[in-house]
Amino acid sequence: MSILLLMVRTRTFDPATALTHAVELFASKGYSETSMEDIVKATGVSRYGLYGTFGNKRELFEQALDRYADSMGKQAFLRLLEPEASLDHIRRIFEGRVDDMCCEGATKGCLFIHTAMELAPRDDDLKDVLQKFMRRMSKLFSIGLESAKEKGEVRKDLDVTAAGELLTSTMFGLVVLGRTGFDRKTLNNIVENTLRAMR
Amino acid sequence: MSILLLMVRTRTFDPATALTHAVELFASKGYSETSMEDIVKATGVSRYGLYGTFGNKRELFEQALDRYADSMGKQAFLRLLEPEASLDHIRRIFEGRVDDMCCEGATKGCLFIHTAMELAPRDDDLKDVLQKFMRRMSKLFSIGLESAKEKGEVRKDLDVTAAGELLTSTMFGLVVLGRTGFDRKTLNNIVENTLRAMR
DNA sequence: ACCATAACAGAATGAGTATTCTGTTATTTT
DNA sequence: AAAATAACAGAATACTCATTCTGTTATGGT
């Protein structure tokens, strides 16, 4: 008889989809403004389930941050690793983000910015995790730029490391402007002018 | 006998300095994370004084935002209106911001970003106010760039309106990176590469 | 079929919050 | 000096929140 594996009643929710909902809420409203009650309602999962599966709000947030970074990577950034990555790949990443910020209820936000502004100053662990993600993001931009350089799409003397960090920074600036209601045209213009500087 | 002007006991605090403290707290921690209790402690002003003078937390925040924008303007941005404004003026504005983010306890934040992320999505009035400030900021950058263009410091075909918006966006990106612990060198590098694109 | 117990729903707890209320103090006017 | 009352300090209120507790339900092992 196995004690550890005993599970007399099966779980009625999928932790992965629950986490997806949590990511959406946190990305939209940030940490403090998202209550566990909000998450209970959005996921349909009981407090018991949430606490049992994710620990507490802080730990749930950290897992949401992991997931967020992961899905951002898979959705868009990892394609920058392919040798055929071009400036257009980078442009599309930005345009996708602009669309997120401008269309419909524009409820999408940015978990990275929320973490940086709300939590990083008082939670060193989270700050380190966040910094790691941002460095990775910058690195992926750099790699994409290097491929673009080989294609002759960006100037030969471009410091791709510095440019990658600049693009990461631009990404956040865009979101902040998007949240305050700047329109798609303005945001895409910023993207275009930023990319133009690489050529 | 004047009823309206009757003030039997003189106020023991200066609303202006109280507001300064509130600005610092809100800029550092944002709206939700700053309690009225925090402000009472930081200012030494009683609840009575705060509510009597500023209304409520929401109104106090709005006044803090006004003040913040105002002092940002006076400190740095208004100099861009002078005809002798140059690219170096713009550089210094950014470097000042980088210093704010990197030195000492790095408790300084950005009231604009906090407002955009926390409040703008659920407070249209505040969103409009914020957008107005951001447009003004972009405009001031544009004017400075125009002066720089006349000096031959930036290329003749630069769209200063678009470039002003880009610089505004860059300002926010920098703060987000600064909050997650990126060092002064990286941030100044981003500034330098952004400015270089104007030439 | 029955037991043991994990998963559940939601009530209870305790801490923190914004705001209002209360009794006190200080200052102008009479 | 006394009266009137604005400013004060801090208690009281009403609410929200994260977390824990409680009683119920469903299911795997016997």
CATH number where A26 lies:
1.10.10.60
| Position A31, amino acid | Y
The more confident residue out of B6 and B61 is B61
The pLDDT score that the predictor gives to residue B10 is 86
Residue A197 to residue A194: CA distance in whole angstroms:
5
The more confident residue out of B40 and B7 is B40
In the predicted model, is pLDDT for residue A95 greater than 80?
yes
What is the maximum span of chain B, computed from C-alpha positions, in angstroms?
A: 67
The pLDDT score that the predictor gives to residue A143 is 98
The pLDDT score that the predictor gives to residue A89 is 97
Optimal mutation site among A166, A175, A191, interface B, most CBs of chain B within 10 A: A166
Q: Which of A99, A89, A107 is nearest to A33 (CA)?
A: A107
The pLDDT score that the predictor gives to residue B3 is 40
Structurally, how many domains does chain A consist of? Answer: 2
H/E segment holding residue A24:
helix A15-29
Residue B58 to residue A60: CA distance in whole angstroms:
29
Task: Looking at A30-123, list the stretches that DSSP marks H as alpha helix, in order from N- to C-terminal side.
Answer: 36-43, 47-54, 57-75, 87-102, 111-114
Which chain A residues are Cβ-neighbours of B174 within 8 angstroms?
169
In the predicted model, is pLDDT for residue A4 greater than 50?
no
In a domain, B1, yes or no: no
| Pair (B187, B94) in one structural domain | yes
Residue B11 pLDDT class (50, 70, 90 cuts): confident
Share of residues in chain A with pLDDT > 70 (%): 96
Residue B6 pLDDT class (50, 70, 90 cuts): low
Residue A115 to residue B180: CA distance in whole angstroms:
9
In the predicted model, is pLDDT for residue A93 greater than 50?
yes
Optimal mutation site among A112, A124, A160, A179, interface B, most CBs of chain B within 10 A: A179
C1' (D7) to CA (B13) span, angstroms: 10
In a domain, B2, yes or no: no
Residue A185 to residue A191: CA distance in whole angstroms:
10
| Pair (B93, B177) in one structural domain | yes
> Which residue, counting CA atoms, is nearest to the C1' of nucleotide D17?
A35
| Pair (B36, B87) in one structural domain | no
B114-150: per-residue pLDDT in tens? 999 999 999 999 999 999 999 999 999 999 999 999 9
In the predicted model, is pLDDT for residue B5 greater than 70?
no
> What is the token pair recorded at B49?
């004084």
Average pLDDT of the segment spanning B178-183: 96
| Pair (A25, A110) in one structural domain | no
CATH (domain of A151): 1.10.357.10
B25-35: per-residue pLDDT in tens? 999 999 999 99
In the predicted model, is pLDDT for residue B154 greater than 70?
yes
CB-proximal positions of chain D, under 7 Å: 4-11, 16-22, 25-30
The pLDDT score that the predictor gives to residue A5 is 55
| Pair (B92, B131) in one structural domain | yes
In a domain, B162, yes or no: yes
DSSP class per residue in B72-106: HHHHTGGGGGSTT--HHHHHHHHHHHHHHHHSTT-
| Pair (A47, A131) in one structural domain | no
B68-103: per-residue pLDDT in tens? 999 999 988 999 999 999 999 999 999 999 999 997
In the predicted model, is pLDDT for residue A104 greater than 90?
no
